[in-house]
Amino acid sequence: DPGTGKAFISPLDRARRQDDLLMTDQAQRIGEDSDTLGISVAKILSPSLNEEKLRNCLQSLKKRGVKLVYWAIDSHDHTAKQAALACDGFLADKKITYLLDLRSLNLAFPYADVEIYPAQIASPELEGIALEIAQLSRFSNDPKLSTEQANTLYKAWINNACQKVAAKIVLVIKKQETIIGMLSIDEKRRRGDLSLLGVAPDYQGQGLGKRLVYAALAWCIAQNYSFSQVVTHKANVKARHLYETCGFTQEKMEYFYHFWL
Question: 203-210 contacts: CB < 8 A, separation 24 or more?
Answer: 203/175, 208/173, 208/180, 208/181, 209/181, 209/242, 210/242, 210/245, 210/246
The conformation of residue 6, written as its DSSP 8-state character, comes to: S
CA neighbor of 209 nearest in space, from 237, 254, 243: 243
Query: Which pLDDT tens digit goes with each residue over 194-203?
Result: 999 999 999 9
Query: Which pLDDT tens digit goes with each residue over 68-97?
Result: 999 999 999 999 999 999 999 999 999 999
Residue 16 has pLDDT above 80, yes or no: no
pLDDT range class, residue 46, cuts 50, 70, 90 = very high
Rg (CA), the chain: 20
pLDDT range class, residue 3, cuts 50, 70, 90 = very low
Spatial CB neighbours of 238, under 8 Å, sequence gap ≥ 6: none
Degrees to nearest 5, angle at CA 110 with 125 and 132: 25
Query: Which pLDDT tens digit goes with each residue over 150-185?
Result: 999 999 999 999 999 989 999 999 999 999 999 999
pLDDT given for residue 112 in this prediction: 87
Query: Which pLDDT tens digit goes with each residue over 49-58?
Result: 999 999 999 9
pLDDT given for residue 26 in this prediction: 86
Residue 247 has pLDDT above 70, yes or no: yes
Residue 108 has pLDDT above 80, yes or no: yes
pLDDT given for residue 23 in this prediction: 53
Cβ-contact 215, 171 below 8 angstroms: yes
